[in-house]
């Protein structure tokens, strides 16, 4: 016949004495010491290249750190000074029939902006960012058709961020944009024909930004 399992009820443990405070303190001290030794002997050499006990060299952990450091991308230097205050942009632009152009803000990594634009007919547009670091890819934030858009952006990298607009209609359109943020410049990028070199080129047209302190 199978015996039923024994269930230990709380009152049967009444005679068991808990460990003393002194024993708990000793055990805690030993655990902290072991953790500190493991950190200094293994984690410091592998993650930070520090080897106070020589265990990193003996176990090959310093080689692991050096390999990780060699593979890590080096961010390109930037000469953009961080703006002291945000700028305001209120621009009105014309987009000819069947034509297209871009409008970009320069933002440092971590800089933010809010924006709103509208036009008097549906256009094709793409909101994207182009990093100064050419090892990074162009990032598309929004791509569709519409006659307006608004939102906020925090730049994940230093570069230019803005829109490509294309007019699919047979009449000129007006684009009105209102933005505020920690951008340092705004430019139109208009394709134009170079009569001297007989080829298309991009014309950069700067826009004046206002300072809210003025």
Q: Is residue 5 part of a domain?
A: no
More confidently predicted of 91 and 15: 91
Residues 109 and 161 in one domain: yes
Q: Please, which residues bridge with residue 152 across strands?
A: 114
What domain count does the chain have? Answer: 2
112-123 pLDDT, tens per residue?
999 999 999 999
Residues 101 and 137 in one domain: yes
Would the CA dihedral through 66, 72, 76, 82 be positive or negative? negative
Amino acid 51: pLDDT: 67
Domain residues for the domain of 30 are 20-71
Backbone angles phi, psi at 168, to 5 degrees: -85, 0
Q: Is residue 179 part of a domain?
A: yes
42-89 pLDDT, tens per residue?
555 555 566 676 765 666 655 655 554 555 454 444 555 667 789 999
Residue among 118, 129, 124 nearest 100 (CA) = 124
Residues 115 and 163 in one domain: yes
Q: Is residue 214 part of a domain?
A: no
Residues 169 and 145 in one domain: yes
Q: Is the pLDDT of residue 102 over 50?
A: yes
Task: Read off the pTM.
Answer: 0.61
Residues 173 and 93 in one domain: yes
Q: Please report which residue ranges of the chain form alpha helices under DSSP H.
A: 21-38, 55-59, 61-71
122-150 pLDDT, tens per residue?
999 999 999 999 999 999 999 999 999 99
Helix (H) or strand (E) holding 200: strand 199-207
């Amino acid at each position: 016949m199978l015996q039923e399992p024994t269930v230990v009820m709380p009152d049967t443990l009444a005679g068991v004495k808990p460990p003393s405070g002194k024993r708990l303190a000793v055990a805690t001290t030993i655990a902290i010491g072991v953790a500190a030794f493991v950190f200094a002997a293994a984690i410091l050499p592998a993650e930070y290249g520090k080897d106070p006990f020589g265990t990193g060299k003996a176990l090959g952990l310093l080689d692991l750190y050096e390999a990780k450091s060699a593979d890590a991308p080096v961010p390109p230097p930037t000469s953009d000074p961080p703006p002291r205050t945000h700028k305001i942009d209120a621009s009105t632009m014309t987009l000819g029939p069947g034509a297209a152009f871009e409008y970009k803000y320069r933002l440092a990594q971590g800089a933010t902006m809010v924006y709103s634009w509208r036009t008097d007919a549906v256009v094709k547009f793409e909101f994207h960012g182009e990093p100064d670091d050419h090892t990074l890819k162009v990032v598309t934030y929004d791509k569709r058709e519409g006659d307006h858009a608004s939102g906020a952006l925090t730049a994940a990298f230093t570069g230019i961020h803005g829109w490509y607009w294309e007019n699919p209609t047979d009449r000129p359109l007006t684009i009105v944009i209102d933005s505020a943020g920690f951008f340092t410049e705004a430019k139109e990028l208009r394709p134009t024909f170079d009569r001297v070199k007989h080829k298309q080129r991009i014309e950069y047209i700067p826009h004046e930004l206002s300072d809210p302190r003025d």
